[in-house]
Amino acid sequence: METQIHYMAALSYVDVSLDELHEEFGDLPNEVKQRQKKVLELKAMVEETEKILAEIRRFCMVSKTTLSEMKDKEAKLAKQQFNVRNNREFDAISKEISHIKEEYSRLTDQIRVESVKEENLIKILAQQKIDLTEATADRDTKQQELEILASDQNDEVKELYRKRKAIVKLINEINIGEYDRIRKYHSDCVVKVRKNSCTGCYNAIPAQVIVDIRNNLEKSYFCESCGRILYPEDITIDDAFLNKLSKKK
């Protein structure tokens, strides 16, 4: 049964093969990577702005409810002043009303400040989304150029991209995030453990980690020396396995 580690190892196999072939295509693959990096950065900015906006809106909603409750309480206290028995009770109620008014004023000012922030963030978010859309389109255009060039020059590259697209769909979001992060530093970011060593940096892997890798194929284990994702020696990644994966729905 195939697991997430099978899929990531297969993706690494494809990417290493593509890296070897990409030398024929000059700097275009790197341009695609740079544009993808920009897209990810802009997407993160959009998500952060949306998060802050949600927090501001939640604060304003809760605060407006609090203001309404303050008004109700102030009205009740004002009525109670007509039924006091002595000056001390009157002064105590007056003091409480004064405190409510101060809190009401403070909270009203804070809502006003947050509302201004919201207006500004809405404008910023709109521009961020425009930037993200443009960056995505730019990346897609470069990606298409690369795929067309690959198709024109080398059927093998075109086939590898087809397989890569199919394999990526099999990998969950968390694992693909880890994969992309490590691949910034190592082209072969998923490597086999052979003779108790990482085949990426050739440093020894602890025996217990090797056992864990074999027994938990849905979990990612990393080389403590180089950070690559490791997979057990008995897993074979070859063209036949890639063909099998690329046909999965």
Q: Is 171 left (phi over 0), alpha (psi -120 to 50) or beta?
A: beta
The parts of the chain modelled with pLDDT lower than 70 are: 152-154, 249
Backbone angles phi, psi at 101, to 5 degrees: -65, -40
pLDDT at 26: 77
Q: Summarize pLDDT for 197-221 with one digit per residue, the tens.
A: 999 999 999 999 999 999 999 899 9
The span from the CA of 131 to the CA of 129, in Å, is 5
pLDDT at 116: 96
Contact between 27 and 190 (Cβ < 8 Å): no
Q: Give me the domains of the chain, ranges plus CATH numbers.
A: 4-246 (1.10.287.1700)
Distance of alpha carbon 159 from alpha carbon 2, whole angstroms: 21
Question: What pLDDT was estimated at residue 2?
Answer: 87
Tens of pLDDT, residue by residue over 172-198, are 999 999 999 999 999 999 999 999 999
The pLDDT assigned to 158 comes to 81
pLDDT of residue 153: 66
